[in-house]
Amino acid sequence: MAFFTGPRLLDFANSPPHLQFNKYVLTGYRPVSSVQDCLKSLFYLHNELGNIYTHGIPLVGFLILLPFSIPWSQINVTWLGVVHFLACLSPEVGSVLYHLFMNHEGGASVYHTLLSLDMFGVCMVNTLGALPIVYITLLCYPIMRTMALLAYTILSAYGVYCAVTARTNVRRLRSFAWQALFRFFLFMLRWSGVGTGSPSSLRHFLTMDFLAMLGGLINISRIPERYRPGLFDYWCNSHQIMHVLVVVSIVFLHWGMVEDLLWLNHYHCPLE
């Protein structure tokens, strides 16, 4: 994709120090740029183009398609649909802004602000995406449901702090561990029959978490570029693979939530 001729690209050694976070990506770095020049980089090939479009295209698709696929007329608790919609959009928004403007002339301070925004978006899909799951899983236990929603929100706030202050990919991934364990506990409640929800949604949620975790592990392991430095500078490197897996995981989250919302419209808790 090269509608315009871009500036001369840099190699790893000559790129800004704050952009030297993947030593296996050797070429294709954009020089320090203004906002206008960053926007122009949407139209020529560089090593962040794939990262921008692997989340930018799904963002546009989700904005257009998700509102029509959420069964609004059949949702008894409207906030569940709103929160789910925001959860599906949040990681793409932060990611696109981060990858598009990471070489901004503001330097390292702007870069770290954008990185924090990116991490905040990831935290939001973990937080907002799970709140409807908590609500529906504990539907018939109002007191426990309220306590679980509060506990998960507090846990998520701590996860946000850990993610935005982490200085390595490994620590950022670890920031989401407690949220993942909390969700796994909810899934066990559903599997055991104690929790409630659509019988077919659980497999979607488990697939969602598996894909998201796999993407995170691929990203921190720098596979495949660590085995062939320079070969994956522009396409199919670990971060792009993670982006694709994250988008697919959000699709599974959406499928599971739609089934839960339809189920919720017809389910009545048994009388004590």
Side chain identity at 170, as an amino acid letter? Answer: V
Residue 98 main-chain phi, psi, to 5 deg: -65, -50
Annotated binding-site ranges: 99, 239, 243
Q: DSSP code of 44? A: S
Annotated binding-site ranges for Zn(2+): 99, 239, 243
Structure tokens belonging to residue 141: 């236990």
- Residues 236 and 72: their CA atoms lie apart, in Å, by 37
- Residues 207 and 209: their CA atoms lie apart, in Å, by 6
Closest CA to 186 of 198, 173, 195: 195
Structure tokens belonging to residue 8: 């001369």
Contact 251, 205 (CB under 8 A): no
Q: DSSP code of 234? A: S
